[in-house]
Each structure stands twice: as structure tokens, then as C-alpha cells.
Amino acid sequence: MGVGRTKGAVPPALRPVNFRIEENVTGNIQKNAGRHFGDSAFKWLTLAMALTVFVLIALIGCELWHGSRPAMQKFGWHFLVTNNWDPVNDVYGALPFIYGTLVSSLIALAIAVPISIATAVYLTELAPLWLRQPLTIFIELLAAVPSVILGLWGIFVMVPWLHNHLVPVLRSSLGFLPLFQGPNYGPCILAAGIILAIMIIPIITSVSREILRSVPGLQREAAYALGATRWEVTRIAVLSYAKKGIFGAVILGLGRALGETMAVTMVIGNIPQITSSLFAPASTQASVIANEFNEAAGTLYPAALFEIGLTLLGVTVLVNIFAQLLLKTFAGPGVKPQH
């Protein structure tokens, strides 16, 4: 092998890849040194594109930070825990909006999570094969409905139904809880929770479905082999295996619910207050910005709204990062990640 080798000739298998490749096996392809530059330019270009998104988010954050400086200097940390929104006297506190955002999102999760997980389980485990694709398409269609359309449906259909039928039923059956006491005039935080639930069901369902599909068949087979019933297989082998992933899907849905603006503004009543009743109107961070930013004059008023936007952006970004981490590290015991 070493004898008779001409000077400079290197066996093809050992040639460094970046060098000029004069001919390959077929002898047809001729590449020249210019390709090296093209490769590297392509790499940097696509990297720049990928970084653009990151830079955009960072710029938005910077702009929000800069815009909220007057309010941050005036109110400090108390801004987040003060329950007072008074544009005439220039005193601002974001607590009622944080409360509204959190409670409406929690109600949405409470309604959407059982429905979504049950739907995902049905789609992966129990549905006949011919039904799975059409049903999936319908659920994805729900995600395609624009936010404003859902809001319109909410105002004209859902809120009157809630006021005339759901609220009296809840009041008579669960009225001993302070949550279900108090007068109701239509728009309320419960209505916002219901609309948000409708909006996050598609997300949680589709991500959960992917998670459940990626549970290895071995798990199910092992459970069957041990004599488990259908439900026990689903519960023990599938759901508890996919716990982390499903939790990630839920957090992803929460991230969507936190930032939803138009549909919520139309049905929540827009009164910045903190009450124990779910039948009372409230206001969320996104809805107060949508409502008031247009006419906010002066320096402190827009700065306070910017600060609310900054807290909303911060919380939404953190929640989404948390969800992605959960989903990414979802591997389950004994299985290598399939990257």
C-alpha cells in the first residue's frame, strides 16, 4: 500500500474535505475552490436570519424598558403590588391587571387541560384509525379562528348564554363558595376564562398528541403483558410516562393565554378590580394596554402602560422558555432522546 505511491497522492478516504475535489467516483463532478466561500457565506447568512428573531425580541424588550423608565423611577417595585389606577391624579398600580391576567388564565387552564388531555388520549389510544385525521383537522381549525371573531361570538352568543343559563346554575349549586357569589351582568372574568380555554385547547391537544405518540410502544406492550386493562395501560404506561411532556404542553397553552388580547377585552368587562367573585368584571394587562394606550397623554401614563407591557413580555417569555425546556428534556426513563 505504501510502495509505489506517487508523491502527493492521498487515498480518497483520507483526503480532507475542504480541499478541492477533482473528481469523485463517477468522474463527472468538478468542484473548484469557489465553493468553499459559498458554503461559508450560506452558513453566515442563515445564522444572521436565525439571530434576527432573537435580536427582534431583545429590541422589543429594550424599547419597553426604555419607555417605562419614568414609571419605574416614580413607583419602583410598588407598581406591581399597588391596587390603584388613576390617570387623572397620575397614580398607577398594576396589581388588578396582574390579578385579572392570572385568574383568567387559571380558569382557562382548569377548563382546557382536562378536555385537551382527554382528547389527546382519545386521538392516540382509542379512536379508530379512519377518525384520527379528520378529528385532528377539526381541532386545528379551532386554532385558525381569529381572536376578534371569537370575541364577537363571545359578546353576542356566549356572554348572554352565560348570564342567562350558566351563572344561575353555578350560583344555585356552588353558591356557598365566595367564587360563585355576587351579581353578574354579562361580561365577567369567567367569560374571559371560557374564551381563553377555547383558544388554548388546540395548542395543548396537538402538543400532547405528539407527546403521547412518542411514547414507545414497548411501554404499552409491557403493561399489557402484565395484565393491565385498557385504562390502566393508558394511565400507567402512557400518561405517567408522558407527564413531563404534557406538563410542558400545558405551560405552552398558559403562555398563549397570558398574552391574548382582543377576545378577552371584548368579554371581560374592563373594570380594574380585585374581587373574590368569578361573576364580576375584571381587566387584564393585555386588555388595559389595548384599551388605553391610544389616548394616553403625558409622560407617566404611557410609561405605566409600557411597564405593564414589559411585565407581560417578561412573564410570557419566561413561561414559554420553561415550557420549551420541559418539552425538550422530555425523554422518560430508559429511552435515548431521538435527536
Partner 1 sequence: MNMKKTILSILGGAALLAAQTNAAPINITGAGSTFDYPAFTKWFESYEKVDPDVQFNYQSIGSGGGIKNLTSQTVDFGASDAPMTDSAMAAAPGKILHIPVVAGGVAIIYNLPGDPKLKLDGDTLAGIYLGNITKWNDPKIAALNPGVSLPDLAIVTVHRSDGSGTSFIFTDYLSAVNPAWADSVGKGTMVKWPMGIGALAAKGSEGVAGQVKQVSGGIGYAELAYADQNKIPYADIKNAAGNFISPAPDSVSAALATAKIPDDFRFSMVNAPGDTAYPIAGASWVLVYQHQKKAESGQKLVAFLKWAVTDGQKLSPALDYAPLPNTVQQRELALLDTIKY
| Nearest-approach distance from CB 268 to partner 1, in angstroms | 9
Which of 204, 248, 219, 200 lies closest to 125 in space, CA to CA? 219
**Residue placing its CB nearer to partner 1 in the complex, 219 or 270:** 270
Nearest distance in Å: CB 93, partner 1: 11
Question: Looking at beta carbons only, is 214 or 291 nearer to partner 1?
Answer: 291
The nearer residue to partner 1, 180 or 330, going by C-beta atoms, is: 180
* C-alpha angle 32-37-38 in degrees, rounded to nearest 5: 90
Smallest separation, CB 273 to partner 1 (Å): 5
Rounded Cα distance, 136 and 205, in Å: 9
Provide the b/e sequence for 3-21 (b: ≥16 CB within 10 Å). Answer: eeeeeeeeeeeeeeeeeee
CB of 86 or CB of 172, closer to partner 1: 86
What is the nearest approach in angstroms of partner 1 to the Cβ of residue 49?
32
Residue 65: CB partners within 8 Å, gap ≥ 6?
A: 310
Distance from C-alpha of 252 to C-alpha of 105, rounded to nearest angstrom: 12
Nearer to partner 1, 42 or 156 (CB): 156
CB of 107 to partner 1, least distance (A): 19
Please report, as ranges, the residues that interact with partner 1 according to CB under 8 A. 84-89, 155, 159-160, 183, 185-187, 265-266, 269-271, 273, 281, 283, 287, 290-292, 294-298, 301
323 within 8 A of 203, measured Cβ to Cβ: no
Residue among 139 and 150 whose Cβ is closer to partner 1: 150
Task: Taking the CA atoms of 142, 146, 151 and 154 in sequence, report the sign of the dihedral they define.
Answer: negative
**Which residues on adjacent β-strands are paired with residue 269?**
282
Q: Which amino acid does the sequence have at 217?
A: G
Diameter over CA atoms, the chain: 99
Least separation in angstroms between CB 314 and partner 1: 24
